[in-house]
């Protein structure tokens, strides 16, 4: 499981930053969260293949989060894509996609499936559960919680030996959930396996004022990605336009018990992100401000 930040700017691109796009690699697939203009080129610069995108998740319909979709779809078509592409987003996503395709500039040779998600609804993609959470922005918007399913518990070799199970194929059967017979005694997997271990969890805010609902939904996540359009001195202005400050994002991460906070969606007034990062770190030390093409491998907490 790997995250790559393809665009970390808010509103419009700058020489230093593209606009919102985050790629989550899981297995052989990529889930793309938001798709600002020029995202397909950002994929190339990041040495990632946009052809591996199976799904696009849109937080809201502001241009810096959706205008890259038509170009990305056309680039996929010109590159010979045949696999279906799924697009998920809030109310209005279906109309936007129909309008983008109705222009008639190209006719994709692959199927495009569009699904609108209301807060509380979830879909399973690539073995991950992606849930929509209500966001607080100036237009209808959602945040996303990405949850990996639980993993098997740890196998206790000590317990197996105490039960007289010989090393070898029987260990594998028990780890795969199968009962085995040893000297006429049935051994159940629960006798040698620990409790299931939770899968990894990522929380992606999109554009939003800070909300307790997002903190609650993101509880105990390995990584929280939260917008940080402004610093605390401009917090009131940020709230007026539906955005969060770095300090507010840090408070949300702390309330959620997140393991790590990554800030993104920075106003172009900030060229150097050191002060933004420091502001959040005073509240939540495990914070970093993402730059374009920053990549992070997400490890298991246990």
Q: Catalytic annotation on 136? A: no
Is 167 in contact with 174 (CB distance < 8 Å)? no
What confidence score (pLDDT) does residue 104 get? 65
Length of the chain: 302
Strands in 85-89's sheet, in edge-to-edge order, are 112-116, 85-89, 53-57, 29-33, 21-26, 2-7, 295-297
Give tens-digit pLDDT for 186-231. 988 888 888 888 999 999 999 999 999 999 999 999 999 999 999 9
Domain ranges in the chain are 2-151+197-297, 157-191
**Percent share of the chain, pLDDT over 70:** 99
The number of CA neighbours under 13 Å toward the Cβ of 286 is 14
Domain over 2-151+197-297 is classified CATH 3.60.15.10: yes
Give tens-digit pLDDT for 21-80. 999 999 999 999 999 999 999 999 999 999 999 999 999 999 999 999 999 999 999 999
By CB neighbour count within 10 A (0-12 exposed, 13-18 middle, 19+ buried), where does 212 fall? exposed
* Whole-structure pTM value: 0.90
Give the active site residue among 34, 64, 207, 292. Answer: 64
Joined together, the tokens standing for residue 179 give 């009962």
Distance, in Å, from the CA atom of 19 to the CA atom of 9, rounded to the nearest integer, reads 5
């Amino acid at each position: 499981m790997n995250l790559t930040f393809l665009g970390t700017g808010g509103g419009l691109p700058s020489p230093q930053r593209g606009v919102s796009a985050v790629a989550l690699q899981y297995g052989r697939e990529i889930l793309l969260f938001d798709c600002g203009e020029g995202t397909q080129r950002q994929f190339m610069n990041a040495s990632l293949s946009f052809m591996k995108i199976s799904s696009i998740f849109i937080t809201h319909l502001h241009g810096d989060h959706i205008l890259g979709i038509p170009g990305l779809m056309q680039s996929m078509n010109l590159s010979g894509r045949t696999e279906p592409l799924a697009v998920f987003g809030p109310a209005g996503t279906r109309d936007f996609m129909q309008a983008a395709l109705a222009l008639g500039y190209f006719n994709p040779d692959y199927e495009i499936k569009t699904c609108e998600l209301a807060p509380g609804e979830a879909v399973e993609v690539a073995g991950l559960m992606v849930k929509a959470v209500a966001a607080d922005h100036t237009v209808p918007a959602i945040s996303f919680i990405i949850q990996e399913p639980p993993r098997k518990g740890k196998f206790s070799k000590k317990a197996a030996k105490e039960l007289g199970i010989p090393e070898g194929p029987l260990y594998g059967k028990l780890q795969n959930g199968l009962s085995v017979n040893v000297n006429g005694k049935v051994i159940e997997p629960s006798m040698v396996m620990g409790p299931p271990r939770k899968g990894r969890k990522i929380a992606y805010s999109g554009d939003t004022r800070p909300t307790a609902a997002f903190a609650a939904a993101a509880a105990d996540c390995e990584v929280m990605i939260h917008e940080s359009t402004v610093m605390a001195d401009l917090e009131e202005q940020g709230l007026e336009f539906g955005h969060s400050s770095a300090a507010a994002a840090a408070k949300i991460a702390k309330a959620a018990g997140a393991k790590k906070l990554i800030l993104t969606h920075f106003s172009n007034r900030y060229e150097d992100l050191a002060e933004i990062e420091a502001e959040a770190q005073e509240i939540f030390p495990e914070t970093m401000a993402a730059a374009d093409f920053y990549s992070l491998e997400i490890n298991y907490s246990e």
